Amino acid sequence: MLLELNNLVLSYGSVQVLKDISMEVDKAQVVTIIGANGAGKSTTLRTISGLAKLKSGSITFDGHRIDTLPANKIVAMGISHVPEGRRIFPDMTVEENLRTGAFLRKSRSEVGDDLDSIYSQFPILKSRRTKNAKTLSGGEQQMLAIGRALMARPRVLLMDEPSMGLAPVIVDEIRKIIEQIKENGVTILLVEQNAELALNLANYAYVLENGKIALEGPAEELHDNEQVRTAYLGI
């Protein structure tokens, strides 16, 4: 298993946010976590990338324990995080944002090549490369946040609500981008409130409720599950 979360427990003060969460993410898969607001989806991703510290439990990546490492070391292991709300650097240009994503990379020529491939994948970013990131539209900012994470050449990409606040046309574009990343062999752990989108993209899914896993299974099965359909797909 590429990424394993074992019995994660985390609390903010007296509030338990994660109550015994265990998940497995296999190589070259898209695994999704769906659930309502405040179920602990984002927090789960934040524990993986080292932004939130566990009370108990462990996280292993490729056989190495990573839950004791600081966030910048976890990126170096090959896990990149596209955070909730995009979190691009507003007063830096598009190109500076992308190059910052490659902060840990040594080879300048490889970074240059990757920049070119990001630009061919996201032509809109190329046309905006010298503009400050805060001048981009929401969809463009999301593409920039994804492009920035890809610049680190991650083996696992953690994506937190990539469709949030975007128009349906743009959501469709994001869907294609995620499919493309998957085809390139990058493993994806996707957090989404848009369960329809998530279950269509994913191989396997976890449903989170109040910091616990309420349900899990192959995404297709969950898509047809009566409970999931009424609670999350609104059908």
Partner 1 sequence: MIELLLQTGLNALFAAAYLSLVAVGLVLIFGVMGVINFAHGELFMLGAYVVVALYTNLQMPFFLVVAIGLIFVGLVGIVMEMTMFHPLRDNPLGGLVASIGFLMVIQALIILGFGVRMEHVPPVTQDVIVISEKVRLPVQRLFVILSALVCLSALWLFLKRTKFGWALRASAQDPEAAMLQGISTRTVSIIALFIGAALAGVAGSVAAPVISISPVIGHSVIVSAFIVIIVGGIGSLEGAVLASATYAFIHTVITTFVDGVIADIVGLSLMLMVLIIKPTGMFGTQDRV
Q: Note whether 50 binds partner 1 by CB under 8 A.
A: yes
Residue 112 is a binding residue for partner 1 (CB under 8 A): no
- Is residue 103 within the footprint of partner 1 (CB under 8 A)? yes
Q: Which stretch, 30-38, 81-89, 197-205, 222-230, contacts partner 1 (CB under 8 A)?
A: 81-89
Please report whether residue 139 would count as binding partner 1 according to CB under 8 A: no
Measured in degrees and rounded to the nearest 5, phi and psi for residue 128 equal -110, 15
Q: Which of 29, 32, 43, 49 forms a contact with partner 1 (CB under 8 A)?
A: 49
CA dist 136 and 198 (Å) reads 25
53 binds partner 1 (CB under 8 A): no
Per CB under 8 A, 69 contacts partner 1: no
> 169: helix, coil or strand?
helix
The nearer residue to partner 1, 55 or 134, going by C-beta atoms, is 134
Task: Select the residue interacting with partner 1 from 9, 51, 164, 170 (CB under 8 A).
Answer: 51
- Which CB, 96 or 173, lies closer to partner 1? 96
Structure tokens at 202: 């994913």
Q: From the list 35, 40, 83, 162, which residue makes contact with partner 1 (rule: CB under 8 A)? A: 83
Question: How far apart (Å, rounded) are the C-alpha atoms in residues 30 and 180?
Answer: 12
- Binding piece for partner 1, criterion CB under 8 A, among 10-18, 26-34, 36-44, 65-73: 65-73
Q: What angle do CA 94, 102, 142 make, to 5 degrees?
A: 45
Which of 91, 120, 130, 226 lies at the binding interface for partner 1 (CB under 8 A)?
Answer: 91
167: CB partners within 8 A, 6+ apart: 139
115 lies in the binding site for partner 1 (CB under 8 A): no
The packing angle between helices 94-101 and 138-150, to 10°, is 30
Q: Is 13 in the site for partner 1 (CB under 8 A)?
A: no
- Pairing type for strands 56-61 and 3-12 reads antiparallel
Question: How many whole angstroms separate alpha carbon 87 and alpha carbon 40?
Answer: 19
Half-sphere exposure of 167 (CA within 13 A, CB side): 6
Q: Name the token pair of 67.
A: 């839950």
Using the rule CB under 8 A, which residue among 11, 26, 38, 71 binds partner 1?
71
- Rounded Cα distance between 210 and 39, Å, is 5
Rule CB under 8 A: which residues touch partner 1?
49-51, 70-72, 75-76, 80-81, 83, 87-92, 96, 99-101, 103-104, 134, 148-149, 152
